[in-house]
Structure 1
Amino acid sequence: MKKIAELVFIPHAARGHIAAMLELAKLLITRDASLSITVLIMKLPGNPNLAAYTDSLVASNSFSERIQFLDITQSEDKINSAETNPLVFVDLFIKNHKRHVKNTVTDLFQTDNSPRRLAGFVVHMAWTEMTDVANEFRVPTYVFWPSPAGWLGLNFHLQALREERDMHVDLRNKLANDYTNGGELWVPSFANPVPTGVIPSMVLDKSSADVFLTFVKRIRETAKGVIVNTFAELESHAVGSMISDGKLPAVYSVGPIVNLKGEGSHAFSVGREAQDNESNIIEWLDDQPDSSVIFLCFGSCGSFSEDQVKEIATALERTGLRFLWSVRRHPGLTTKDTTTTTTTTKLAFVSDFVDPEEVVPEGFLDRTAGVGKVISWAPQVAVLSHRAVGGFVSHCGWNSLLESLWFGVPVATWPLFAEQQLNAFQMVKELELAVEIKTGNSRVVDKGVVSAKEIEDGIMRVMEPHSDIRKRVKEISQKSRKTMIEGGSSYSSLGRFVSDVLENLY
């Protein structure tokens, strides 16, 4: 009986991250017939849409005979429900599931005559606690890194600095001081010095940094390799710096992993309502000239104050351009950051549609009826792939940036939180593939309002038809597609990963 190499995938509970890992799973089983995959779903509390989303994926998955889904979500009773730090809560959540993962995997492979053999774990970067479980089964752990290679390299660098200094507070104080004085940090994975203001705030908050840099330490010390959603032609410096380091796990750059069907990337509704909305949007785009529409979308958690929405609306009217604007209301909770004097926002899941008339200025829809369309949910992949779209104002989530590059649509950056400021810096300064509306900084959630003039200027720059950035984006778009086919760098890197998995097994 032919043996089947089984990989256990443990994705993050966020929809976009699940979608990216599922695309990786599909690539793997297409690549080698001896591979099969079990995906363990653990749903974070407070996300009622995830169950419907995972159910829809299972039902529509054409590879379902070799990709199975198991929901092993446990009660959060053992987790401190009063914990407000998201990273600390996630750490407690995953620790609470370790025993259940072990029991589930044990049950999967308890029959001696099964053709399946456990080949390893592939875990999301925040789930590295599961390396302990993989070690109990004496199989390797591979980490899926859904963000840029530059951010991975920065984390390796910060973790090494913390180990060298022996006290995290020294590193945190140094970065905070450099931030205050407009400092920069030289990082091996970046060709240019990185402004400390764009380094994600999780490394400045002690509780968050203790958790996150522990994730990174486990990757460095216990992971067999890191699967990165990027490609060598895009991040040649970052990927090369880690490969040449000699002390890090293997790095497999296998991207861009782009969910071309748009499953889960930004969809917050399933079924007939979402299908009808998408049809309506695409029909509107079909009536627009080529490259004439500026698309504004800020991801699953992006939202703005009433004053900021007014400035965006004013800017769009001033440009006179056609536009498609995704607006959503976010159930944010304002809290006080105990480590600084600044106010921060605790993010929650978005689950509702928004009536555009409730959020845009009065009369705006009437005045722009001939040139613009305001929507709530956006079928982002379908929009970016449409010939009418000529530019994208984005929050700079990595999935969104890879999608924009794949389809050759230049970006105007407007990062909001997490590593998005770093992504924006990389796109604008490091790679010269985007224009800047707002860089932002990671330490302070800016309560100021970006002016209509700044927004207008950024939109006009990104929509320039013959700009150098547009030419570079078109070139990288062509490279992104070639890298995924036979002979391409990502195709080869994925093949190296498959060979390593099978070699370890046999």
Structure 2
Amino acid sequence: MNKSELVFIPSPSLSHLIPTVETAKLLLLRDSRLSATILLPPPIFAIDTNAETYVKATSSNPTFSSRLKFIRLPHIQHSNKHFFEHYNVQIPNVRQEISNLLTKDQNPRLSAIVLDIFCAGLVSVAAEFGLPAYLFFTGGAICLGVYQHLVSLRFDHNEDVTRYLNAEVDLPVPCFSLAVPAKVLPAVTVDETFSPEIFLSHFKMFSEVNGVLINTFYDMEPYAVESLLSDDKTPEIYPVGPVLKVESKWFDEDVDVKKWLDDQPENSVVFLCFGSLGIFGEEQVREIAKGLENSGSHFLWSLKKSHDPKLERERSEYFEGFSERTKGFGRVMGWAPQAAVLAHPAVGGFVSHCGWNSTLESVWFGVPMTTFPLHAEQQLNAFYLVKELGMSEAITLDYQMDFTGEKPPESVGWEVIAGGIRRLMAEEGGSGVRRKVEEMGKKAREALVEGGSSYNALTRFIEDVMRSID
């Protein structure tokens, strides 16, 4: 029996690492002929202890330990500030690891390399060894389609896409049924601050791969999936999601929060969580706090600490009074086990930054969202959820968090925040978002079982990989 080994190279951030490794695990569970090696690039910033814990737990899991291994790539100093270079400098190390795997005189045989989209520059290594290369796209099909469209505008039609920054125009985009407001386009594609020329040039590499695995499922994005399938410039696509790590545990330090949730009525608590980069300035923090006080809802707020000690002291003083005023109906915590919180029956709403993993978790657990996007493709996701699917309420669709410190911070007022939460948590909301997200959650589960759309897409990917070594 031919056995096949796949090499995965993820981005080291938790939001990319987990879905990539979970996809590898899913493949191993589906087909005993497969094994996987994960080449781990070093973190771009500080070491993420949650990522370290996840890798250790996966490595020691007896279900996978014999067929799944991790190899850490060494840190290499480089002067280029663009984060793509963080991965491109690893080409010699990746080349060596691939060579080592190919020279082993044993079964399984190395059959393909699966790259995170940020690591697409490493596709040249696969070409050197005559190996098929695939991309794993951690976002949705809508995002992939928008990137493809902007690449075409820039390089096929020589259009200056930076003119869309903050423009009051709507664009026809093939993967959307509605015209897309320019204000929700990913900033990295239109804002000179982020070197969009480099970013879009990187995305031209889509045409060099054999296929793209996408963490989505057909019923979540049927229009976008069909658009990509019909585009002769797009390689083979495999919508294999939702790929999630839903087994999330409460930590000992969170026991009081867990007990508090246990005492709340079903669907009565709104949960606020804004991802690993969701650290607001003090003005916005206070607006959110006032919005919660005036929303009429019980709440659980995952609030990341400020990196500024002075601001953190001021925040602590403010929150003494806030905690006292809201102690009967609210809790504030630091990092939260998001999946465990969303799975709790007391949680009936989710104020989210609309990261794609969080969006899929919201769907999986049937918890409706109200949108508060911050960066990356999150504004695009928010627009899709609210306007195309009608599956979310909105606090804002186009809020942009500034990470450069060069722009005055935006602030969403407490009245807008309170209103968005009230609409979300209303018992009989006229928009029907709760019913819609619960229905989509059922479709997500159906996609993964035998005969489902994502099950079939994963089967197709396995067949294509195995065909390459026959």
Give yes or no for TM over 0.5: yes
Displacement of 1:418 in angstroms is 1.1
Displacement of 1:104 in angstroms is 1.0
Displacement of 1:55 in angstroms is 2.7
Cα distance change, pair 356–277 in 1 and its aligned pair in 2 (3 A) = farther
Cα distance change, pair 359–387 in 1 and its aligned pair in 2 (3 A) = farther
Kept after mapping to 1: 8 A contact 2:374/2:401: no
Which residue of structure 1 aligns with residue 110 of structure 2? 118
> Is residue 200 of structure 2 the alignment partner of residue 200 of structure 1?
no
- AA partner of residue 172 (structure 1): V
Kept after mapping to 2: 8 A contact 1:295/1:325: yes
Q: Deviations over 1:125-176 (max 9, x none)?
A: 111111100111111111000001001011111111112233xxx4234424
CA RMSD of aligned residues (A): 2.1
Displacement of 1:442 in angstroms is 5.0
Gaps of 5+ in 2: none
- AA partner of residue 481 (structure 1): R
- AA partner of residue 256 (structure 2): N
Kept after mapping to 2: 8 A contact 1:197/1:442: no
Which residue of structure 2 aligns with residue 140 of structure 1? 132
- Give SS of 1:190's match: coil
Which residue of structure 2 aligns with residue 405 of structure 1? 363
Equivalent position to 1:152, from 144, 153, 174: 144
Which residue of structure 1 aligns with residue 160 of structure 2? 171
Cα distance change, pair 45–228 in 1 and its aligned pair in 2 (3 A) = closer
Cα distance change, pair 250–21 in 1 and its aligned pair in 2 (3 A) = same
| Paired residues, number | 458
Which residue of structure 1 aligns with residue 465 of structure 2? 501
- AA partner of residue 100 (structure 1): N
Cα distance change, pair 388–236 in 1 and its aligned pair in 2 (3 A) = same
Q: 2 CA distance for matches of 1:355 and 1:382?
A: 30
Q: 1 CA distance for matches of 2:369 and 2:314?
A: 24
Question: TM (normalized to structure 2)?
Answer: 0.93
- Give SS of 1:197's match: helix
Q: 2 CA distance for matches of 1:145 and 1:194?
A: 21
Which residue of structure 2 aligns with residue 35 of structure 1? 34
Displacement over 6 Å in runs of 4+: 354-357, 443-446
Cα distance change, pair 361–442 in 1 and its aligned pair in 2 (3 A) = closer
Which residue of structure 1 aligns with residue 92 of structure 2? 99
Equivalent position to 1:232, from 218, 225, 228: 218
Kept after mapping to 1: 8 A contact 2:76/2:89: no
Cα distance change, pair 312–193 in 1 and its aligned pair in 2 (3 A) = same
Q: 2 CA distance for matches of 1:36 and 1:321?
A: 48
Q: 2 CA distance for matches of 1:45 and 1:55?
A: 19
Displacement of 1:482 in angstroms is 0.8
Q: 2 CA distance for matches of 1:357 and 1:244?
A: 52
- Give SS of 2:11's match: coil
Which residue of structure 1 aligns with residue 375 of structure 2? 417
Cα distance change, pair 59–446 in 1 and its aligned pair in 2 (3 A) = farther
**Identity percentage of aligned residues:** 39
Cα distance change, pair 359–197 in 1 and its aligned pair in 2 (3 A) = farther
Which residue of structure 1 aligns with residue 68 of structure 2? 67
Gaps of 5+ in 1: 264-273, 333-353
Cα distance change, pair 430–355 in 1 and its aligned pair in 2 (3 A) = farther
Displacement of 1:259 in angstroms is 1.0
Cα distance change, pair 64–208 in 1 and its aligned pair in 2 (3 A) = farther
- Give SS of 2:345's match: coil
Q: Deviations over 1:404-441 (max 9, x none)?
A: 01111000100111111111111111111101101125
Cα distance change, pair 3–330 in 1 and its aligned pair in 2 (3 A) = farther
Displacement of 1:331 in angstroms is 3.4
